[in-house]
Structure formats: C-alpha cells, structure tokens
Structure 1
C-alpha cells in the first residue's frame, strides 16, 4: 500500500444504510490468525467532484482507495459496547478516485472486538464476536457508486497476526491477493452511530534521546517519555530479514530492560522485510504503552530510522500550570501525558499491560482534571453511554466499561460491578461535564441510571449505612480507598474501613444527584433524594463519630472526604479540624490516601485553612508523594505510590503500571485552588467563576491558563514580602467574582479597594489584583 495518506474526515451524513451489507472474508481463520481484507474493483466514467466513503467494521479497519490510505484516523471504528453501538466514519475521497478503473481495499484487524481482553488468569477472546467484517458505501451526492455486498472479494494481508495486547507481526513479502470470496454476516444496522468523539490521531513523533547495546546484540532506545504510542521504523535489507521490537516503561537497576509488568501482553512488533529498497513500517491495529524500545535484528538488515509515535483521542492541550517548583511543573506535564496515553477511545487505567480497561473509579476521580487539561466533553459522553449499557439490571454500575465480563462472566470473582467509588462515576462524571461545559443534556441522559445506582447502594445493606462484604465479587463488594498506603508494616497507619468509605460515597452521590435533579427540573425526585441524603448524613454521624468528635478510623481519607462533602457535624467541626491536622502532621508530610481519598486531601486541607499542611504534603519528596515519582524520573503518573524503590527496584511487577492517571487528579486542585479559578454550578461552563487563589508561598510565582468556550482565561500571581500581586485575564462573555476574605488584607482590584467581607464582580478584560497576607 502507498504510505501517502489522503481523504479527509467529514461530518457524519444522515442517509440510511440501505443496501450495504456487513461482509467478512471467507478466508478468515479466526482470532489470532492471519489478517484479512475485502476488496472491490470498480469503474467510474469520470472522477466525481465530491465523493464520500462511509465505513465501519467488526474489529478494526484500515481502508485504501487506489493504493492510498483513507484518512488519518487510527484504531477505527473505535471501541464501544459493540452489542449496543458501533461507530462509523465518513471521509471525503474524491481526490483518491480517477476516471476509469478504481480499487478499494479494507484491511481488517482483531482489535478490541475479538482479541484478548482481561489478564492471563481470566482471558476473554471473541468477546463480541468471532468474525471480523466490513460495511461501507461510496456515494456522490445522492448516487450510490459502490457498497459492500456479496460481489466483493477477500484475501490475506501482510499482517500475519495482531491483537491489542499481542502487538503485530507483519510480513512485507506477502502481497494481498483477493483469491477468496466473502460471507454476508447477519448484522443489525440500527446499531450504527456516527463516531461520537474525536478520532484517535498521531501526535508529533519523538526521536530517541539515548541508545545502548545489550550484551546479546539487541539495541535499546530511550525516547525520554512514557506514552501510549507505537514505533515507526525505516529499514533496508534482504527479503526475509526480521526486525523484532519489544517495549518497556522502566528500566531495572543497571539499565536492565524490564517489562514484566506487561504480564501476558506480548506487546511486540515483528516486521519481516520484503527486500525491496527502503521500507517504512508502523503497526496498523495495535499500540503499546512504553518509553523504551528494544530492537533485535535477524538476517541482513539495516535499521535506518526509528521513532516513537504517541497517539491519543485528546491530542490538544487545553490548560497549563507552572510555578516556582520545577518538579511540580513536570508533574503537571506527566499528568497531561497520562491523560493522552489513556484517553485512547475510552478512559483506560493503563496503556501497556493485559488490562487497558475503562475503570470507572479511575475515570470518576480524574474527570474534573480531564476537563481542565483537554476538551473531554464528547469523549466522556461517549464513555458514559457504555457505562449505562453495562449497568446491571439491579442497578450496579460496572467496575469498567466496555465490560467484557458482562457477556462472559468470570465466575471465581462474582459480578464485576457495584463498587462504591467506582460506580459513582455515573453521577460524578456527568456533573463535571455540566460544570465545565454546561452539558445539561448529559445530566438528563444519565439521570435514570443515577437513580438505579442509588437504589442499588441503598439495597446493599437495606439502609443508609453500607456494610460491604469482605469477599471479592460478592454483592456490594467495594475496592475502598484502593492502594491506600499504610506506612511501616510493623505499625501501620490508620486507613478508612470499607463501610465508612462506602457510606461516604453513598452520601456524595445521593446529595449530588439531588442537586442534579434540581438542575434538570426533577423537583419531586430532588425532594426525595434530599430527604435520603439527610438520612444518610444522620446515620453517618451516629455510626462513625464518637462523642468527642473523632471520626471512626481517624485517617486522612475519612477526614478529607467528610470535610469536603459536609459530613462533619457542626458541633464536631472544631474537634475534627484538630484531629485532621494531627493525622496529617503525624506522617511528617507523607500522604496516607489512595484512589478515592487522594483527590480530596489537598482541597480539604486548603479550604479548611490548613494551607501549610497542604503545601508540605504536596511538596513532599518522600514515598508516598507526587514529587517522589518525578524525582525518580517518572514522565507519567504511577499506579502505585511505591512503584519504584529508591534503588530502582520494581515493586510487584504483577500489578504495577507507570502510566495511570488517577493520582494526577491533584491537578484539579492546582487549577481550582492554587490558581484559584473555580467553576460555579449556579452559572456553569465558565460563564461565571469564583477567583479564589490559595497562596502557597513555596509555589510562587504561579501561572495558569485554560481555554474555555469563551476564550482563554489566564492567572498569574506572585508573593513578595507578604504582598500578593495577581494578573487576571477574563475573556469576553465570562465574569469572575472575588471575596475579600479575612486572610486577604487590603484587597484592591485595579487600584480600587474592596471592603472587608465584600464580594467584588470582575468583568471581562485584564486586571491587576493586590492584597497582603
């Protein structure tokens, strides 16, 4: 195939899929076997001025017209719950057509549709079906020029084997020959929807920063950045010579190549040369998560060039944050790269090992940060539709979506649905879409699913306090504060118990759903939910607070979530502040929170006025801590606080990812608290914001920006001798409000004094704000 790419994506058209059929190559031998294609030769009397190719597939496809690739989109048609919806793409292809003889080929890959999903102990293949196929039509105006039907031919491609976890083997000596027929598959075309979000695309390629040769002759390339990506090579050599490429995220001691954490994911590329001059190759139907590539050569072959090509559904950065601490700036950059790497069609936990699943808990804690760092509206709306389709009849929300276990239950672990903190994604993600984009339709679309989820929660223990079972997979099982560090195992620090964590989230989602009900005009439901939230609040007080005002487990997660969401009774607030400060100070600045507690920790401390502690914990360089990762050379966010020891030893490679965005949720605090731009639910989508910067002296100077629907909002502040100077830029159509709080003395906006206790409106434009602390 010609490497030149032509054809442009166009808006989805509305004409019905009438005569086109889903066709499968008769030569397809099934999952994990040689790749196949379908093709058709056709004649045009003249080249049409406009022509659109509308196309979808079971599996993945790559289309070519007259030898030229159609479009730039990757991993099409994308990943959805295929038993619910399958996307299609539409391309303008008139420039690829000629008067006279033309040819179209659609190459097919196993993709998420039928290659392995889940890990080695419970692998699922052929999850949504065991036949790959293509559906397409070519139109000019209202005239059908071509459509998939029984007259097409099939054959084998040079892709010898492919899989999302497996990687790809490609033998360039194989010339595609359409020497097979096609089978027409039974297919419900009402499942077809226009692609619901931006397509996966390539980012700028990265060249190796360092290279070294191992003792066995293989060469390791360091691209300086962990990413969801693939390798592109240019080679020259004899026919049958082979290039094998392995991938890894980290190196062991002495720069030892180590990818044990990939588990059963082979994650390799094998390219066999055709021997015809210079050859260029990048995989068609897979991607990896890696920073390092190890290349082995067999036969007479010369590697002329190698580069990493990152890919993402959200390639455009929508925000930036810098401050006077360079490690913090790198942390923000790491979070951006983890979002890019894991926002590939769905929000995955990781891009490298035999998992890469859309875990709902990770997505819900990160949703706010995601909307700051990239335009995530359509991406998360698409994901929520999968979550709703995977929701169980009893209301349980899946642990991940699209969920292979819904169609192929894993009996030794029960139903993979229903964990508090994870299932609450169905409430929290739509709310973030409303705050950032004013997406009321997302609230309306998800509201019935929210109610079913809340009823499920209540029914776990038949009441407001949730008592989850300890056995994995039983009804109501919860992950709790997943991967919460406990410190010295001889004297572990207190951690939140499952019942407390589950009841906390029971309240969070119930109270938030009541507010959502008010927004969408469901006032009767709002009243019912408000009453239920009040009942949970009272039960939480009775169950988890002592008469002295001490919360049951006296841990950082319990205090952070309880304070942030208003679950600390007024009569216990003073005592609670003291307890919270003590448990934070006792660790000497070390974090004691996991997946659900960490996003709440610094906002809670900051809004309670404990900014000294928030600053100390954030800037801590010891494990567990955000900056420990940075100082150990991380270029993305780790799954575990202790993923890499100080001596470089890899901790527990059986469950260890170095590209997990969950702990990057701290960036929401950087934008909303440290930079001080808070979206307001009363007037969402940045129509009206609260400007409320938390001045942390060690971070000065701070600079942040974010591209909103109105344009770019910018903030800069610096602290000098107790005097704070802020530069604030508000785009047209947006307003801000700032309160003259007691800690802001002598507040002046553009030279005008704001009286203590007053609230000042700030119009669009550039402003200088000054106060002392």
Structure 2
C-alpha cells in the first residue's frame, strides 16, 4: 500500500516506447536461463547513444559481444509490485557504424528463484516470467527497442538462483536464437531510475591457504564476505568443477557449511575444452570465506579468486586505537556492512534467508551512515518498508516482504514487532541527522503515524502486552538473542512487554521531534501528550519504590537511561542497580539485538566509564572481542556462535556475517572519539564534541567524510591531561559538551578561565587539552 508521496519517485525523463518481452523458450523457474536479442543499424556516432534497460529477473546486456557496464545483479531488488528499477548507460564505445547486435541475458534472480527457507519456501514470488525492456536512443531518436520482432534462445547458464548458485556449461556458449518472444502486459509507470548505487565488485582476493580434504581442494581467502569466485581452468570438454562454500571450519579444522541450511550455494562449471577458460557467476552471489573445489574428469585449476560485491564500496569513516582487536572489530563491521548491503540491508548473505530484517537495519542505521554513504541506499529500503506496511499500520518484519503476497503459506501476519517496526521512525531520523535530509522525514511521516497508532491499539494504551504466539497479532521479538549466561542459574533478561513499551516510547518521542521539524504542530502536540502518557505509565509499571527496574537486566537499564525514562526520584538508585547488574555479570554482555546498541552509550552517558571500558574490552563470551579472539573477520549473529572449545552452536540459525552487533561502532565514533551530529544543525553543520577517555584504549583517532568534507578527531593521554585534536571542514563547527567544560585547560594554546558555557570550536584544526581529574 504505497503512500501517494511515493508516486513522485516514479517520474523520470524516459518516455517508454519499448515493450516488456519474455523469451518464448523460457521453461520456468529453476530451468535454463535465456536471452533475447535483436539487430539495429547505426548511421552516425557523432551524438550520445544511451541505453535504458530493466528486466523481470536479473539481466546482463551485451552489444556486439561486449558486456555493457560493470554493474552486478541488475536491475536490483525492490518490491517489484510497487516499482522496478531501470539503469541507463552511455554506449557509444560499444557501437559501430552499420549493423549492430544486442543481447540481453536473463535469469531468475530475486524475482522468481527461491526466497525464504525450506519449510516455507516461495518460488515465482513476484512473477513466473523472466523478461526484458530496453530502448537505445541516438541523437534523441529510438533506434532499437524491445518488441515483438526480437528473438530468444538458451544461455550456457543451465540453472541459477540467489540461494542456489549457478551452473554454467561452456560447451553451450554459441548462442542460437531459436525462438521468438512474448509481449507481457506490464505497467510501465512502475519503472523508476535506480534509486541507489549499483552493486559493484571490490578488489579481488587471492587464497591465503590451501589444503585437501578427502581429495577435494579447500581454499581459505582469509576474509568472510559476499562475493563470487573467478576461476581460470583448462581441460577436456565435458570435464567440470563443482565449488561450494563455507564461512567457518569445524572444531577439527575441517570445511563446515552446515549453517547454510538448505541453500545449495554452489557453482558448477563444465569446460568446453579450448585452452585456458575463465568464468565467474553472473546471476547470484555467495557469503563465504572458504571454497571447496571438486574436480571431475581431466581438468586443471590454474587460479581461483574471491570477488567481493557490495552496494556501498566506498568507506566514509574509520576508527583506530592502540588495541588491535578493537581495530579489527571495526574492520569486521565494515565487511559485514559491505556483505549485507547488497541492494537491501540483509541479515545474512549466505543461507536460505538474506532478508531485509527491519530490526537489524534500525539498530545499525547510525553506524552504517558513519562507515559508508548510505543515504540513497536506506531511502530506497524505506520505500519498500512503506509499501509493505499493513493496512492496520503494522510494519513488516522484513522488506521486501514475500509473506505479504502469500499469506496462506504463513501462520499469522509477519509484521508488527516492536523494535523491528520502529525502523520506520529510527532510520529516517538517522538519515536526517547524518545528511540533513528533511524530505525523507516528510515521506515517512504518514507511515510513522500509522505505526504509532498500531502500537497504541495493541493493548489500547501505553503499556504494550505482546502476543506470545509467533505470528500472532502483537507478537514481538523482544531483545532477540539476549544472552542468559549459565543455564543452571541464568541472568535476568527483559520481558517482552517492557521491551515493547520502551520502544513504544522511543518511536513516539522521535515522532514528536519529527513533527516539529515538519511544522506539523497539531500532530506534535498530540504525540507529545501520548509520549508523556507512555513515560508515566512506564514508570508506574516497571519501577519499584526502591528505584529498581522490574527485570533488573542490562537492556532495561540501558534503554531507560539512554532515552530519559528514569525519573529523578529513582535516578541514583537505578544507576546503582545498573552498576550492580554489570559487575555481577563480571562485565559480560547481557544484551541482545535491541539492547546492545544502547548498552555502552548508556554507561558513558551516566559517566560509568570504568564499566564501559571493562564491558567493551572483555574477551570472554559474550563479548565483542571474543569473536576477534576466535578469528572472526565479520560480525556474528550470536554471541556464542563458536564456543570456547570450538564447538559450533546450532548451525540451523547461526550466521557468521550478521552486522547487528557491529552497531557498537556508532558509540566509538560518537562517545569515545566524541563527535556527534545534532538535530538542530544536521548533516554535520554542527557537531557535539563529547569524547570519553578510556585509558585502556591508549591513543584514539577517527575520521569521517561527510557532505561538508572530512572530520577528524583524536585524543591521547599525557600523564594527568588529555590532548584532543580536531579538524573540522568549512561549514562545520563544534560545540563542547557541558560535561567537559570544567576540565578544559587550554584550547589552541590559550588558557580557558571562567565561564565556558557555549564554547564553540571553529572549522579548521584545533587542539583542546583537558585535565583528567
């Protein structure tokens, strides 16, 4: 149910005269891929030639035998019943005077290959026909377009799918146009320019280690990521290679792909037998660190490389300190973001899932924007979320949401979980803070209102009593995968109703701010009253007279303190209880998906820096650095994904490339390095400077490329003082946090005496010296 404002996305300068054509030889999902082709005449190359193209399924396009562009997985992924992206390429370099040939290769892709896991798998989710639409203009005249005159035939890609992988028979590379095409009924108003950057390849990665298991070669690329492989082989015609993939080795050090579940995730290449042959898959991607190669027949593998893929190839932020494991944690987060930011923000890139879970995306959105330019990427995703929003206001658990199209296959409605649905308020707010984009707030505000009304309706009031049945109306994931410690005497965890009510307040309070920004004062006033009602009800329901929160767990205290839900009369007592909970857990993390991003920011906000330092640098499980100790190169889905004895925990739900817990990097930038965007001057026109000095980190430095230029900050401890160095681009000023003003000694060599309220740090380079006392 798209909102009217989304219709503006649909407009483009393209006047479509082409038809959507399907190869008549297509045998359906899971079968051999097809192509459509035509010829056209070019009489002059003096003007710009432009190809505009899209497809149902995935496509690659060739003109005169040369692939056009270097994009992967085009036309990309959206809610295809809402909009379909198209790409535009300048193609003069591919053309020749006289006769030219164009071929469009087509495969199942997200459009119709399996989506969802085996117990509830969907085929032909968006449709059952692959097809292409394209037109080539020269000097403003359409000289080639898809229509009924085109022909079709079979490709050497004998099968492909997002979870399946790809099979390729090089003996079939001579393309024969043996069939015609069918014109499909298609609403061309669904076509929109690609809303974000295309998927691109990063630099290739060579194996760092090779060994053999049961006669099969296993290679370690040293980095887990989303990628394809590129191989060079020679051998006899009909000989083949079968390559499958894994993220980890088992406790015996052997290739282990159990956590891929029922996803085949493999490549099979059959040789044509004509010297050195090169190949990489065209219509799929895999999540892996290890590859296993099985050879059949007379064949020799000359080389194999990993080709990482991502929609966000350019890093825009970095953080380093004197603890190598922390630096590796940041790199792991970058790799998990790259791996899971392929068209949509997915939970994982390897198993039969790869869905755009809203909860994962909302907790990570702030970190995502620090590490890469994610503005258009997240806006595109939000449009899918809005389209998938239910009539009752519930936001989907993931988007694009195939369950919406096949409700009969699922128990209940897969929408409406607090912490997940709140993506509709939290992600737009992060985009606004990071990029100063007010339009996305305006675009999402109607959906926010519907979501908040839905939340209120769940229990007809401020305290949400979730449905405990999966798929039931009002079901919530709570603090997903919150660790409990020793199962003989588990640590306390937050209850679903408390978690739901906390997020009820968080989203309502954000919506108040957003309504004010949009000049919607009537709505702001109503929401303000609602937020106050939730706040008062939360205190009444969950605080004891001694100031202890009902569940006495890390997530409850973290979210309550971070979002100012702790009343003054309970503040000191609740802070004491919070400290006890952390110390009693021996500084082990006790938070899941929604609590973890709040844990360290809450501790540093309260000035409990000793706790923050001990929790962050803990190297036991559960802990961020434990993963590093176990050799992780990306962020894990579960804190205990690999036990201390090397045992693999529950392979059925265990991803080793799952960015959610990497949300801690936002704390490194904003609380440790101390640079935060602010709501009244977003897009880094002004930044709050509030560094937290954690001695165990040694020297700290960060950088971030924002729209105004590069921001840099670093601090180093000098006996009883700290030197804080800054470089702010033109148009950006810093405001020193009030908590630091009394400890300022000098700024740019000048002694700071008297009142320091409102101290501004100008653009350019500055150095501020603080007293550690």
| Bin of the TM-score, shorter chain as denominator length | over 0.9
- 2:7 matched to which residue of 1? none
State the distance in 2 between where 1:61 and 1:412 align: 31
Q: Deviations over 1:483-534 (max 9, x none)?
A: 0000011111000000000000000000100100001111100000000000
State the distance in 2 between where 1:739 and 1:42 align: 66
- 2:208 matched to which residue of 1? 209
For structure 1, list consecutive stretches of 5 or more residues without a partner in the other structure.
Answer: 1-11
Helix, strand or coil: the match of 2:745?
A: strand
State the distance in 2 between where 1:723 and 1:66 align: 67
State the distance in 2 between where 1:27 and 1:209 align: 43
Q: TM-score, normalised by structure 1?
A: 0.97
Count, aligned residues:
761
Alignment counterpart, residue 379 of structure 1, candidates 377, 380, 393 = 377
State the distance in 2 between where 1:48 and 1:497 align: 69
- 1:560 matched to which residue of 2? 558
State the distance in 2 between where 1:390 and 1:524 align: 27
Alignment counterpart, residue 396 of structure 2, candidates 376, 398, 402 = 398
Alignment counterpart, residue 463 of structure 1, candidates 454, 461, 472 = 461
Q: CA deviation at 1:740?
A: 5.5
State the distance in 1 between where 2:685 and 2:20 align: 46
State the distance in 2 between where 1:436 and 1:226 align: 28
State the distance in 1 between where 2:450 and 2:740 align: 44
- 1:437 matched to which residue of 2? 435
- 2:538 matched to which residue of 1? 540
- 2:280 matched to which residue of 1? 282
Q: CA deviation at 1:768?
A: 1.2
Contact 1:548 1:575 (8 Å CA) reproduced: yes
Q: CA deviation at 1:581?
A: 0.5
- 1:486 matched to which residue of 2? 484
Contact 2:240 2:269 (8 Å CA) reproduced: yes
Q: CA deviation at 1:410?
A: 5.4
State the distance in 1 between where 2:359 and 2:186 align: 33
Give yes or no for the alignment of 1:592 onto 2:601.
no
Q: Deviations over 1:429-480 (max 9, x none)?
A: 0000000000100000000000000000000000000000111111000000
- 1:426 matched to which residue of 2? 424
Q: CA deviation at 1:414?
A: 1.1
Q: CA deviation at 1:753?
A: 2.7
Give yes or no for the alignment of 1:523 onto 2:518.
no
State the distance in 2 between where 1:423 and 1:676 align: 29
State the distance in 1 between where 2:741 and 2:13 align: 61
Q: CA deviation at 1:372?
A: 0.2
Q: Against the structure 1 CA distance between its residues 746 and 427, is the aligned structure 2 distance closer, same or farther, given a 3 Å change threshold?
A: closer
Helix, strand or coil: the match of 1:413?
A: coil
Contact 1:17 1:189 (8 Å CA) reproduced: no
Alignment counterpart, residue 499 of structure 1, candidates 497, 500, 506 = 497
- 2:407 matched to which residue of 1? 409
**Superposition RMSD in Å:** 1.2
Q: CA deviation at 1:50?
A: 1.6
Contact 1:740 1:747 (8 Å CA) reproduced: no
* Paired residues for 1:730-769 under 5 Å: 730-739=728-737, 741=739, 745-754=743-752, 755=754, 758-769=757-768
Q: Deviations over 1:557-582 (max 9, x none)?
A: 00000000011111100111001000
* Paired residues for 1:8-47 under 5 Å: 14-47=12-45
State the distance in 2 between where 1:762 and 1:288 align: 47
Give yes or no for the alignment of 1:472 onto 2:470.
yes
- 2:83 matched to which residue of 1? 85
- 1:240 matched to which residue of 2? 238
State the distance in 2 between where 1:603 and 1:739 align: 15
Alignment counterpart, residue 325 of structure 1, candidates 323, 326, 331 = 323
Q: Deviations over 1:347-392 (max 9, x none)?
A: 0000000000000000000000000000000000000000000000
Contact 2:690 2:740 (8 Å CA) reproduced: no
- 2:6 matched to which residue of 1? none
Alignment counterpart, residue 58 of structure 1, candidates 50, 56, 59 = 56
Helix, strand or coil: the match of 1:612?
A: helix
* Paired residues for 1:702-741 under 5 Å: 702-739=700-737, 741=739
State the distance in 1 between where 2:366 and 2:702 align: 16
- 1:101 matched to which residue of 2? 99
Q: Against the structure 1 CA distance between its residues 373 and 357, is the aligned structure 2 distance closer, same or farther, given a 3 Å change threshold?
A: same
Q: Deviations over 1:628-680 (max 9, x none)?
A: 00010000000000001122211000000000000000000000000000111
Q: CA deviation at 1:211?
A: 0.4
Q: Deviations over 1:400-450 (max 9, x none)?
A: 000000001255531100000000000000000000000100000000000
Helix, strand or coil: the match of 1:759?
A: coil
Q: CA deviation at 1:278?
A: 1.1
Q: CA deviation at 1:49?
A: 3.4
Q: CA deviation at 1:548?
A: 1.0
State the distance in 2 between where 1:72 and 1:650 align: 38
- 1:180 matched to which residue of 2? 179
State the distance in 1 between where 2:362 and 2:550 align: 25
State the distance in 2 between where 1:279 and 1:41 align: 28
- 1:192 matched to which residue of 2? 191
Q: CA deviation at 1:739?
A: 3.6
Contact 2:744 2:768 (8 Å CA) reproduced: no
Give yes or no for the alignment of 1:297 onto 2:295.
yes
Q: CA deviation at 1:728?
A: 0.6
- 1:7 matched to which residue of 2? none
Helix, strand or coil: the match of 1:525?
A: helix
Q: CA deviation at 1:747?
A: 2.7
Contact 1:321 1:332 (8 Å CA) reproduced: yes
State the distance in 2 between where 1:47 and 1:358 align: 44
Helix, strand or coil: the match of 2:419?
A: coil
Give yes or no for the alignment of 1:662 onto 2:660.
yes
Q: Deviations over 1:197-222 (max 9, x none)?
A: 0000000000000000112x110010
Q: CA deviation at 1:13?
A: 10
- 1:9 matched to which residue of 2? none
Q: Deviations over 1:135-178 (max 9, x none)?
A: 00000121110000000000000000000000000001002111
State the distance in 2 between where 1:468 and 1:670 align: 33
Contact 1:65 1:104 (8 Å CA) reproduced: yes
Contact 2:237 2:272 (8 Å CA) reproduced: yes
Helix, strand or coil: the match of 1:178?
A: coil
Contact 1:741 1:756 (8 Å CA) reproduced: no
State the distance in 2 between where 1:189 and 1:519 align: 35
Q: Deviations over 1:691-750 (max 9, x none)?
A: 110000101200100001111010111112121011110111110011463685243110
Contact 1:740 1:756 (8 Å CA) reproduced: no
